Amino acid sequence: MHEMTFYWHDYETFGRVPRRDRPAQFAGIRTDAELNEIGQPLMVYCQPPLDSLPDPEACLLTGILPQTCAEQGLSEHEFVAAIEAELAAPGTVGLGYNSIRFDDEVTRFLLWRNLREPYAREWQNGCGRWDLLDVVRCAYALRPEGLTWPRHEDGRPSFKLEHLTQANGLAHEAAHDALSDVRATIALARLIKQAQPKLWDFCFKLHKKDAVWAEIGVGRPFLHISGMYAPERGCIALVWPLAPHPTNKNELIVWDCSEDPSELLTLNAAAIRERLFVKQADLPEGVSRLPIKSIHVNKSPIVISALKILSPEMAQRWGLDLAQGLQHAQRLAEQGHLLSGLWGEVYQRAGLEGGGDVDEDLYGGFVGPEDRKALSRLLGLTPAALAERAAEGRLVFKDERLEELVFRWRARNFAASLSEAEQQRWTAHCAARLHEGAAGAQTLAAFFDQIDSLSEAADERGQEILGALYEWAEQIAPAA
């Protein structure tokens, strides 16, 4: 058994969409289980790609320019290798603040684009992943003592890292600088662990999906804390397990028991599907979205079987009528069988990600074992040896996505090793994306329009950043 350590980490990125936008900066700090720092912090920049543009709004937020990353950064191939070495070290639990929904997705797509196994570091060799954000929500809902809880101007509670650190007198020198954010996250974690050690231990237990399933049990209501439930209601709900997800064994479909399920029991699959995936604004007047959500057991969800943990005072504070909720749960326990067989149709091809572009097609299917071995072998070759294999037509895979993925990986990381024909192919690819918007990429024209629009309200710092972005785009623009 390897001794468990936490690896706290954070990305700053050139946009908000992990499958599309690229990392600019990564920082990580390892601690022991008691949150004492171990070893040296890591902070690295990543060289930006030449076939996609940064989101100017992201650069205004972080202050990180593509020029800085180009000059000081590692190639994406080297960048992800350094990160994987930390996150995959035996016994490592990787975590951050909103890391499961954002940073872990950035890591997965980084690994995918660079021919590495995207999921292994999350479970092999005693490794795991966790996220402090839902622990913070849980403390707010159930054990708020020991922390000061900041509010937005409109009175709603704020779970923003910079607001929490400021309200609690924790050092946070530069929000949206990766290393500063990591140190702030660790400081907040120490405060919660000290103030509410039992809550900390309970939430940490749930980073293992077997513990999540055990807490959920079978055929019983339970409490669930999630950002999908409004902070005004404590981010908490009593839920009933409707069914396992038809295609994802790590997903459970649940009903919010604050709502009467009578209507649900009369609906067919098409009606449920519409009221699940169509935005409220697009539904007919008088028709509301159904209070159904999925719990991903491999994403460290906060689920609580002991309903007594919710005192009458807390239930009243969050507007949670437990007696009524249990009546609704009983209705589903007795009549939920009416819905059996519907869920396959409800979730058929819903929420597919990726726009058909191989860089974004991580979730298009698992890479087979033969192809995975072949990719692993490629990672150990020199650029010259890779070029030789390509010239001899030996970069062949069963998975049709991989030939293009390998080509782009070589072009981005080992451009000097491309043949003349490959250089022309890469230039054509960049031109198609930046001039024509291929695969949904932002075009140069749209990029310049966005900069012009943002510059109207920008301060002096913003003007400098936008000016530098204009220069960057002109620098990488391929011939039309």
Residues in the annotated binding site for substrate? 12, 160
Q: Which 3 state secondary structure label does DSSP give 248?
A: coil
253: left (phi over 0), alpha (psi -120 to 50) or beta: beta
For the annotated binding site, the residues are 10, 12, 160, 181
| Structural element, H or E, at residue 136 | helix 132-142
Q: How confident is the model at residue 350 (pLDDT cuts 50, 70, 90)?
A: very low
CA angle 285, 288, 292 (to 5 degrees): 165
Radius of gyration over every alpha carbon of the chain, rounded to an integer in angstroms = 24
Res 357 pLDDT > 70:
yes
pLDDT-based confidence at residue 358 (cuts at 50, 70, 90): very high
What pLDDT was estimated at residue 480?
76
**What would the mean pLDDT of 267-273 be, rounded to a whole number?**
95
* Average pLDDT value for residue range 180-192: 97
Q: Is the pLDDT of residue 175 over 80?
A: no
| 359: nearest Cα among 282, 433, 418 | 433
**What strand order describes the sheet that includes 222-225?**
292-296, 251-256, 236-244, 222-225, 302-304
The two structure tokens encoding residue 41: 């912090």
CA distance linking residue 457 with residue 463, whole number of Å: 9
Q: What sections of 196-349 are H helices per DSSP?
A: 197-205, 209-216, 269-277, 312-317, 322-335, 343-346
Q: What are the extents of the domains in the chain?
A: 1-197, 208-347
More confident residue, 304 or 352: 304
Return d(Cα 165, Cα 144) in angstroms, integer: 15
pLDDT at 354: 44
pLDDT on residue 432: 98
Q: Which amino acid is at 194?
A: Q
Q: Is the pLDDT of residue 356 over 60?
A: yes
Beta strands in 281-381 (DSSP E): 292-296, 302-304
Q: Which tokens go with 102?
A: 């954002």
Strand partners, 37: 31
Bridge partners for 295 per DSSP: 252
- The yes-or-no verdict on residue 355 having pLDDT over 70 is no
Alpha-carbon distance of 34 to 21, in angstroms, equals 34
Residue 125 in this model has a pLDDT that exceeds 80: yes
- Residue 98's contacts (CB-CB under 8 Å, 6 or more residues apart) are 131, 133
- pLDDT at position 85 is 98
Bridge-based pairing of strands 302-304 and 292-296 is unpaired
For residue 169, give the DSSP letter.
T
Question: Domain 208-347 classified CATH 1.20.120.1200?
Answer: no
DSSP letter for 182, please: H
Q: What is the distance, to the nearest Å, from the Cα of residue 323 to the centroid of all Cα atoms in its chain?
A: 36
- What digits encode the pLDDT tens for the residues 318-334? 999 999 999 999 999 99
**What are the residues whose beta carbons fall under 8 Å from the beta carbon of 377, sequence distance 6 or more?**
none
**How does pLDDT run across 394-421, given as a tens digit for each residue?**
999 999 999 999 999 999 999 999 999 9
52: confidence class by pLDDT, cuts 50, 70, 90: very high
To the nearest whole percent, how much of the chain has pLDDT over 70?
98
Q: Are 122 and 141 in contact (CB under 8 A)?
A: no
In this prediction, residues 163-182 reach a mean pLDDT of: 91
| pLDDT computed for residue 174 by the predictor | 79
112: which 2 tokens? Answer: 């995918």
| The pair of three-digit structure tokens given for residue 9, joined into one six-digit string | 């980490």
Least confident of 90-104, 153-167, 350-364: 350-364
CA distances to 173, 322, 342, 420, 435 from 43, in Å: 16, 47, 49, 36, 34
The amino acid at 8: W
Q: State how far the Cα of 291 lies from the Cα of 269, in Å rounded to an integer.
A: 15
The arithmetic mean of pLDDT across residues 250-265, rounded, is 98
- pLDDT above 90 as % of the chain: 94
Q: Considering the domain 1-197, what is its CATH architecture?
A: 2-Layer Sandwich (3.30)
pLDDT attached to residue 352: 43
Q: What mean pLDDT, rounded, does the chain reach? A: 96
Mean pLDDT confidence for 310-317: 96
Do residues 301 and 213 touch, judged by C-beta distance below 8 A?
no
Give binding residues for Mg(2+) as ranges: 10, 12, 181
Q: What is the mean pLDDT of residues 231-246?
A: 97
Provide the H-helix boundaries in 336-391: 343-346, 369-379, 383-391
| CA 183 centroid distance within chain | 20
Which token pair is 50? 């030449």
Q: Do domains 1-197 and 208-347 have the same CATH topology?
A: no
For the residues 367-388, what does the mean pLDDT come to? 98
- What pLDDT shows up at residue 173? 80
Is it the case that residue 266 has pLDDT exceeding 60?
yes
Mean pLDDT of the 169-193 span: 92
What is the dihedral angle through the alpha carbons of 371, 375, 380, 386, rounded to the nearest 10 degrees? 110
The pTM assigned to this predicted structure is 0.96
Picking from 21, 47, 51, the residue whose alpha carbon sits closest to that of residue 431 is 51
The pLDDT value given to residue 129: 98
Question: Residue range 294-302: average pLDDT?
Answer: 98
